[in-house]
Structure 1
Amino acid sequence: MYLDIAMELTVGFFTLLLVLKFLGKIQFSQITPFDFITGLVMGNFVGDAVFDDKIDITEIVFTIVFWGLLIYCVEKLTQKFIVFRIWFEGEPALLIKNGEILYNSLKKNHIDLNQLQQQMRKQGYFSIYEAEYVILERDGQISVSPKHDYGAPTKKDLNIPKKQVSLPFALIMDGKLISGNLMEAGLTEEWLKEQLTNKNISDYKEVLYAEWHENNGLKISEYN
């Protein structure tokens, strides 16, 4: 019995993993109500099947794969047709426009003023009147466009000279070299070993984390 449960869980786990890989990261990154339901049902398929003796492994795989294909078809429809996108995923809604609270929009989206205040505080705005526009996004989060007096100044506003933007590269993590990042950064392993030697580090295993940035150079954290 326990062996059967372990096998079904293992097969269900990897089948779910493959289906989610197939659907893509966006499907469950910023989740919409439709995504939440589909993910919940998919997980329940495995959970319910494990403790049902009448369901074998092939039925679990078929159920998950078929459900995944349905989700895939819906995703393709939402990408191609706006009407399906609105139907399955909803659409953004204005809650505040030109500094005015849109009561009917709040009511339609089942949001009270306390919830609006809470969401705005999470964005760093502690007064409703600091917002020029507030948009309720499809995933239930809000986006705030502040009034001129409350908006953070940009580098352009402050006349800060433009600098080239570059990404940091993690070169060592948990004592292991990340060769792909080393190549992407245009560096060599010989250069890295030389840098470690200069800090009396003889092996990657001594390094918890090492990061290289074009502007900041190499930074190293050893195991304590």
Structure 2
Amino acid sequence: MNTNFLSLTLELFVGFFALLVMTKVLGKNQITQLTPFDFISALVLGELVGNAIYDKDIGLHYVLYAVVVWGLLIYTIEMITQKIRESRPWLEGTPSLIISKGQIQYDELKKNKLDLDQLLHLLRDKGVFSVREVEYGILETNGAVNVMRKQPIDYPTNRDLHIPPQPVYLPVLLIQDGEIIEEGLSKLNKDKSWLIDELFRLGIPGPSDVFFAEWQEGEGFEIQPY
């Protein structure tokens, strides 16, 4: 029994880190913005590892073999789509114009196996509650719909409102779950004593009392205590 537990633990560790490495090698498209091919390949890869781990007749070397071979196949397909543009429609799919000049394109909906209820749901995900608001709508290869609103109801930009350009700064995370983020301090060229002094000045005893804290140039601190 102890030997079985040890073997399973070892296989779980190897399978976990093998999948982690493979995900890093294959890129973020295996976990976000999945195309149908990415989705299927990720499912199969996980299934291969799961079966290899829990099947007593399959050893540890089969786990690694399955991950490496399937990963190489996926990597090869990704290289083909990057190098050969003509292969992308076949392997990744193409976006579809499902709303054009305010009119729903029925043929495109039918082609993409999308009904009207599903389309309205996808539009609501984008904050659009009526088709009359949309000038163009595109069904992306990952199943999301992106819309271009009609001009009278589109959001105004700073340029439209004649607001002078202002510099834009990224916020820097300084504290998370009561722990000081050293990388954030490095970005600001500050040290822990500066952060602790700033917290004390704001009436906060220390970092352990802070759930979340960030700093943004021109805005200062955004702090949420526990």
* TM beyond 0.5: yes
Q: What residue is the counterpart of 1:160 in the other structure? A: 163
SS at match of 1:29: coil
The one-letter code matched in structure 1 to 2:64 is V
In structure 1, which of residues 89, 102, 107 is the aligned counterpart of residue 105 of structure 2? 102
Indicate whether 1:209 and 2:212 are aligned. yes
Counterpart CA distance in 2 for 1:47 and 1:145 is 43
Q: Which residue type is aligned with residue 44 of structure 2?
A: V
Distance 1:130 1:196, change over 3 A: closer
Count how many residue pairs are aligned between Structure 1 and Structure 2.
Answer: 223
Q: CA RMSD in A?
A: 1.6
Mapped pair 1:71 → 2:74: yes
3-state SS in 2 of match to 1:124:
coil
Match of 1:116 among 108, 114, 119: 119
CA drift of 1:45 comes to 0.8
Amino acid aligned to 2:82 = Q
Q: Percent identity?
A: 44
Give distance in 2, aligned partners of 1:201 and 1:101.
56
The residue type paired with residue 184 of structure 2 is: N
Aligned counterpart in structure 1 of residue 135 of structure 2, from 121, 132, 136: 132
1:202–1:129 Cα change, 3 Å:
closer
> Are 1:58 and 2:52 an aligned pair?
no
Deviates more, 1:119-128 or 1:37-46: 119-128
CA distance in 2: counterparts of 1:37 and 1:83, whole angstroms: 21
Structure 1 consecutive aligned stretches of length 4 or more whose deviation exceeds 6 Å? none
- The CA deviation at 1:201 is 4.3
Unaligned runs of 5+ in 2: none
Question: For 1:82 and 1:185, how far apart are their aligned partners in 2?
Answer: 43
Structure-2 residue corresponding to 1:143? 146
- C-alpha separation in 2, matches of 1:218 and 1:117: 40
Matched residue, 2:93: 90
Aligned to 1:15: 18
In structure 2, distance between residues paired with 1:219 and 1:42: 41
Is 1:192 aligned to 2:210, yes or no? no
Between the aligned partners of 2:54 and 2:199, the Cα distance in structure 1 is: 53
User: Any gaps of 5 or more consecutive residues in structure 1?
Assistant: none
Q: Counterpart of 1:112 in structure 2: which amino acid?
A: D
Three-state SS of the structure 2 residue aligned to 1:36 is helix
**CA deviation after TM superposition for structure 1 residue 214, in Å:** 0.9
Question: In the aligned structure 1, how far is the partner of 2:95 from the partner of 2:203?
Answer: 56
- Structure 1 position 65, deviation (Å): 1.1
